[in-house]
Amino acid sequence: MNERLFLLLLSFLTSICGFLFGYDTGVVSGSMVLIKDHFNLSDVWQEAIVASTVGMAGLFALVGGALNEVVGRRPVIILSSFLFLLGAIVMACAQHKETLLIGRLIIGVGLGMASMTSPMYIAEVAPPHLRGQLVAANTAMVTGGQLVACVIAGIFSGDKENGWRYMLGLAGVPAFIQLVCFLFMPESPTWLIVKKDSSQPAERVLEKIRKEQDLNQEMDDLIAYKEALEKEPPTIDKLKIMVSNKATRRALITGCMLQIFQQLCGINTFMYYSASILLSAGVGSADKAIWLAIVPSAANFIFTLVGMSLIEKLGRRRLTMGTQLVAAFGLLCLSLSYVAMETDDPSIAIPRIPPEDSPCFDASTCSSCITKSDCGFCFHEDGGGSFSVSACLPYRKNEDDFSSIGLCSNQSDLTTLDLMWTHEYCPSRYALMTLVSMVLFLAGFATGMGAVPWVVNAEIYPIWGRGVGGGISTTCNWVTNLFLSFTFITLSTAMTPKYFFAMTAGFNILVILYIFLFLPETKGVSLEKVESLFSGPSCFVGLQRSHRNNFETSTGFIDSRSSLVTG
């Protein structure tokens, strides 16, 4: 196998980590619609099953960083693959919600380590002229995994009893492929020469993935890189320097705020709960909601590719500020779709069934019915939003496929009288508006804020502080992700969806203002000079022109007592 094909194979196998990351976030959206009924989950348990993976991923991203330094990139990827496989098996075989939670925790450990390791490994094996594309391909695999997960969820959505097991368990297939194949893959040449202190193993790896004429120069670069690392101070000293110096402190704050805003924009609300949002919007049934969740997931994937093609043409600032207007407009439309649904809430035409008594009979509209415990809406829609039958009826706990009395109490009623029964949504003419609004938001977000925080965080720190700055900002992303995934159902229920999504639209507008004031344009600026963009006299560095030449030099960022040379 020639060098280029082997490099592409190596990058593809590594990016399976990204695919699994995307698959997990995508499949939980569709599977949760079935899981919550199968295990009769409360809102808190639904949030726990989603957020547990995020929490463990955030914690083990830090652990994975340490393991990468001690044992190398390849063993960490192999361990992550094993954990993905184990977690998929545990979830697919779960007989209790506690077992399902354990499987999600195991997946989270693998996700955390993989999220730190796979981009690093690809960057270290790729030649400089292909590094950006191959690392970006790992990000594209994340959105591709989300899309595939939605398709898989749609295929198995009709199996109410075991469909979710197939959705979660199939993640084990790519994990198994990566686990087996990586047993035969090489270690990162960078790690070999820096940590093993031997050039021969690193040179053997490079011979497999480089043309012969490139080897000598790259080996010289790796040796020089190793010598530069030996002069660096301990991590705690790097952190002190970053915080105490004005320019690096501004860069760190900007990097962290971008990662926080990326989550506050609401992206993972849609990734984790898109099928549930569509179901609440009245699309008609759980399996239809799961299938329709493919549409926003596909938009996320397609516009991620659009963003990759535009980021160097338009620059970070213009691209993100423009696309965030689209994202905010989409969220505002989503909020308005819920307002429209409230005004069109079907009323109850059959108020009571004598001599039965139930809290369900106190409901006056569909929404007031389905929010009551053990109550559902029985209806026949005549078309145009009118209903000849509309009743709020009780159902037996854990037997929610039919009402316990009256119409909709058996399959015969539903079939012969052409009735519908639901305890999860109210029929609405505005479900399409909800879907289009979600696509609008994802088109804007994926093109800009989906990738820009990661790109900027790779550019704005001096070379000696990229590990520290990148690690802190990534942790900010995970922590915010954890908070939102653990509170979405509770917050959206307490605030109602219309106010929740209006609030999220406001966060998207704040992103535009923050970038306008605090993020300088880094397009076309060398990594050695990017850090100087944060050293101007005003804190509003986003208003400065990136070509000004009177900034402090990068060496001026370091206290004279330090022996660091930043280049």
- Residue 523 maps to a domain: yes
What pLDDT band is residue 526 in, cutting at 50, 70 and 90? low
Contacts of residue 522, Cβ cutoff 8 Å, sequence gap at least 6? 315, 316, 456, 459, 460, 530, 533, 546
Say what the alpha-carbon torsion angle 166, 167, 172, 177 is, to the nearest 10 degrees.
110
Closest CA to 81 of 219, 220, 175, 210: 175
Q: Domain check: are 473 and 405 in the same one?
A: no
Q: Domain check: are 375 and 497 in the same one?
A: no
Domain that holds residue 300: 238-344+430-567
Tell me what pLDDT residue 199 has. Answer: 67
What's the average model confidence in pLDDT over 434-438? 93
CA distance 434 to 22: 23
Last residue of a domain, one of 393, 422, 451: 422
**First-last CA distance in the chain:** 38
- Residue 51 maps to a domain: yes
- Residue 434 maps to a domain: yes
Tell me what pLDDT residue 232 has. Answer: 66
Last residue of a domain, one of 185, 206, 227: 185
Q: Pairing relation of β-strands 375-383 and 386-394?
A: antiparallel
Task: Please give the model's pTM, rounded to 2 decimal places.
Answer: 0.75
Tell me what pLDDT residue 561 has. Answer: 32
Measured N-to-C along each axis, helices 97-125 and 73-92 cross at an angle, to the nearest 10 degrees, of: 150
More confident residue, 188 or 567: 188
* Cα Rg, the chain, nearest whole Å: 26
- Residue 519 maps to a domain: yes
More confident residue, 106 or 398: 106
Domains identified in the chain, total number: 3
- Residue 218 maps to a domain: no
Contacts of residue 427, Cβ cutoff 8 Å, sequence gap at least 6? 282, 284, 346, 366, 379, 381, 387, 420
What pLDDT band is residue 444 in, cutting at 50, 70 and 90? very high
Q: Domain check: are 470 and 381 in the same one?
A: no
What pLDDT band is residue 94 in, cutting at 50, 70 and 90? very high
- Among 331-345, 348-362, 488-502, the range of highest mean pLDDT: 331-345
Tokens describing residue 127: 């030649």
Q: Domain check: are 418 and 461 in the same one?
A: no
Q: Domain check: are 391 and 454 in the same one?
A: no
Tell me what pLDDT residue 489 has. Answer: 79
- Residue 173 maps to a domain: yes
Q: Tell me the pLDDT tens digit for each residue of 344-396.
A: 889 898 767 766 778 898 899 998 998 888 899 999 888 767 888 899 999 98
Q: Domain check: are 500 and 405 in the same one?
A: no
Tell me what pLDDT residue 393 has. Answer: 92
CA distance 314 to 527: 18
Q: Domain check: are 411 and 480 in the same one?
A: no
Of 10-14, 28-32, 522-526, minimum mean pLDDT range: 522-526
- Among 388-392, 442-446, 526-530, the range of highest mean pLDDT: 442-446
- Looking at the chain, the number of H-run helices and the number of E-run strands are 23, 3
Q: Domain check: are 336 and 434 in the same one?
A: yes
Total residue length of the chain: 567
Q: Domain check: are 52 and 176 in the same one?
A: yes
CA distance 447 to 388: 46
Judged on CB neighbours under 10 Å (0-12, 13-18, 19+), 561 is: exposed
Q: Domain check: are 519 and 537 in the same one?
A: yes
What's the average model confidence in pLDDT over 74-98? 94
User: CATH code at 286?
Assistant: 1.20.1250.20
Q: Domain check: are 94 and 21 in the same one?
A: yes
More confident residue, 459 or 366: 366
User: What is the pLDDT of the chain when averaged over all its residues?
Assistant: 82
- Residue 318 maps to a domain: yes
- Residue 192 maps to a domain: no
Residue 541 pLDDT more than 60? yes
Contacts of residue 567, Cβ cutoff 8 Å, sequence gap at least 6? 462, 463, 528, 554
CA distance 440 to 331: 8
Last residue of a domain, one of 422, 456, 474: 422
Q: Domain check: are 13 and 93 in the same one?
A: yes
What's the average model confidence in pLDDT over 394-403? 83
Tokens describing residue 392: 């709020």
